[in-house]
Amino acid sequence: AQKITQTQPGMFVQEKEAVTLDCTYDTSDPSYGLFWYKQPSSGEMIFLIYQGSYDQQNATEGRYSLNFQKARKSANLVISASQLGDSAMYFCAMREGPGSARQLTFGSGTQLTVLP
Amino acid sequence: GAVVSQHPSRVICKSGTSVKIECRSLDFQATTMFWYRQFPKQSLMLMATSNEGSKATYEQGVEKDKFLINHASLTLSTLTVTSAHPEDSSFYICSAYETGYTDTQYFGPGTRLTVL
């Protein structure tokens, strides 16, 4: 079974609108971390936001927020006030288990295009 | 966030030659680094986990003798693609953990390898 599922291969959003990128995960470990990364056409992976499994509140970082629904095992990324520079591939990733130095499992990604 | 550099950013070589890619954590020490491979329009595939001072742990299906990994210091890991062939052409990207609350992986800018 897929550990991280991103069901939207491509998304379009109008500039200045908000957009939600979906991510569901599957794990039996009670301790895990969820990450979102942005990959522009240059290829670099840019860390956006983190949500820990024990965090009570949804994570927010500037225009990025993570809609964490633990019972549904979903961790959707919300980008508010989209900008042209937000056009990129977005990956959801999970680290299972406590402690550092554990590998990440990535979803297949969502290509976001912001329209002027 | 933490900075990870990768060198070279792009390399073109002839079939049969070896190529070394360096991954450095610039402002933090990383006992563990990861090497990923990414094909066009696909997600990142973990190749190996690089541990400082010990042998790397390779994922199933990754040839150890083909992809040599050395993690000689807390800030440097190298990936050597030995006797490269056209099928080794890909985007190689490394990451390093900055330990802390989120234990976030920060990625290098990637290396695009083209084997002729």
- Do the beta carbons of residue B23 and residue B94 sit within 8 Å? yes
pLDDT at residue B53, rounded to an integer: 84
- Do the beta carbons of residue B69 and residue B23 sit within 8 Å? no
- A37 in contact with B, Cβ within 8 Å: yes
Of the candidates A33, A37, A103, which has its C-beta nearest B102's C-beta? A33
CA of B95: which chain A residue's CA is closest?
Answer: A45
As a whole number of angstroms, the distance between CA B52 and CA B69 comes to 10
pLDDT at residue B6, rounded to an integer: 96
- A78 in contact with B, Cβ within 8 Å: no
B58-100 per-position pLDDT tens digit: 999 999 999 999 988 889 999 999 999 999 999 999 999 876 6
Of the candidates B38, B105, B112, which has its C-beta nearest A104's C-beta? B105
- A108 in contact with B, Cβ within 8 Å: yes
**Can you give the pLDDT of all 116 residues of chain A as single tens digits?**
679 999 999 999 999 999 999 999 999 999 999 999 999 999 999 999 999 999 999 999 999 999 999 999 999 999 999 999 999 999 999 999 876 568 899 999 999 999 99
pLDDT at residue A66, rounded to an integer: 97
B97-108 per-position pLDDT tens digit: 876 656 778 899
pLDDT band per the 50, 70, 90 thresholds, residue B1: low
Of the candidates B1, B32, B43, which has its C-beta nearest A91's C-beta? B43
* Total residue length of chain B: 116
Selected for mutation to probe chain B from A32, A44, A66 (highest B CB count within 10 Å) is A44
Residue A33, C-beta contacts closer than 8 angstroms, at least 6 positions apart? A50, A51, A52, A53, A94, A95, B102, B103
Residue B60, C-beta contacts closer than 8 angstroms, at least 6 positions apart? none
CA distance B83 to chain A (A): 25
